[in-house]
Amino acid sequence: MDEMLIHQLGDTLYGALTGRTTIAPLTETYPDITIEDAYKISLHLLDRRLAAGEKVIGKKIGVTSNAVMDMLDVRQPDFGFMTDAMRYDGEMPISRTLIQPRAEGEIAFLLKKDLIGPGVTNEDVLSATEAVFPCFEVVDSRIRDWKIRIQDTVADNASCGLFTIDENAAIDPRKIDLVGCEMEVSKNGDVISTGTGAAAMGSPVNCVTWLANTLGEFGITLNAGDIILSGSLVPLEPVVAGDVMTVQIKGMGECTVQFT
């Protein structure tokens, strides 16, 4: 795919993002699109956001659990960039910012040191992490009806939407069992899903290690101060204005968000 078309598709996705509209799947219109093409489109989409004044404050890994893979019929993880315009703590205005939002409970990592792949190990990740805390990511797709293949979600910045964290629930990653920790997600007072750290590629630490090494192949680093979203431990949940959701992680704490 030539550079002109890559920029054109990145511009189209940016227009869908800012206009809160959807487009046909890229894989439908361009059946020969590769994952490498898709990441180049994603980087151009990011350039448009940065040119508009946003700042990168972290990265995310997506499609890490079997539950999410089954729901989206996507069979490998991907990554995206988180900007300051995506973070809302306590109250999240999805009705004026997103198109077809779905919430997922995650564990977020706050880095105190850079991680530069390839060659990053799980021990490197733990040593570089200042704290972990509960998180909601509300993913969104500019692709019509979530009819995505891996190339579609990659190009669309890993279907990034908005996110919220509760830094008051932060804990040293070495003081919690990140594999066996239990997550419970409730919506409007009712428990709707549960999971453990093992649901995300065997451990959220495995996810961050994969992310650091995969980004390294593109010359991109995980940086001190970055917030890293390590992937959902539970199925995606559609949300609308008026919903209230809470994620609780035993040994860590909870995070609550109200959608408006």
- The percentage of the chain sitting over the pLDDT mark of 70, rounded to a whole number, equals 95
Structure tokens, 60: 């995310």
H or E segment to which residue 5 belongs: helix 3-19
Q: What is the mean pLDDT of residues 82-94?
A: 96
Within the chain, how many helices (H) and strands (E) appear? 8, 12
**165-205 pLDDT tens trace:** 998 889 999 999 999 999 999 999 999 999 999 988 899 99
CATH number of the domain located at residue range(s) 56-259 in this protein: 3.90.850.10
SS3 state at 53: coil
Angle at 102 between CA 96 and CA 108, to 5 degrees: 100
**124-140 pLDDT tens trace:** 999 999 999 999 999 99
- Least confident range of 48-62, 80-94, 133-147, 209-223: 209-223
pTM given for the model: 0.92
The rounded mean pLDDT for the chain is: 93
SS3 state at 247: strand
Q: What is the mean pLDDT of residues 57-71?
A: 73
**92-134 pLDDT tens trace:** 999 999 999 999 999 999 999 999 999 999 999 999 999 999 9
Structure tokens, 127: 């040593």
- Cβ atoms within 10 Å of 130's Cβ, excluding its own: 14
pLDDT at residue 247 tops 60: yes
Q: What separation, in Å, do the N-terminal and C-terminal C-alpha atoms of the chain show? A: 40
Confidence of residue 64 (pLDDT cuts 50, 70, 90): low
Question: How far apart are the C-alpha atoms of 245 and 153, rounded to whole Å?
Answer: 25
pLDDT at residue 73 tops 80: no
Question: How far apart are the C-alpha atoms of 188 and 204, rounded to whole Å?
Answer: 27
Angle at 182 between CA 112 and CA 248, to 5 degrees: 75
Residue 142 pLDDT: 97
Tokens 């451990």 -> residue: 203
Cis peptide before 118 (omega within 30 of 0): yes
- Least confident range of 49-58, 62-71, 106-115, 248-257: 62-71
- What residue spans define the domains of the chain? 56-259
**28-54 pLDDT tens trace:** 999 999 989 999 999 999 999 999 999
Q: Which of 31, 248, 221 is nearest to 118 (CA)?
A: 221
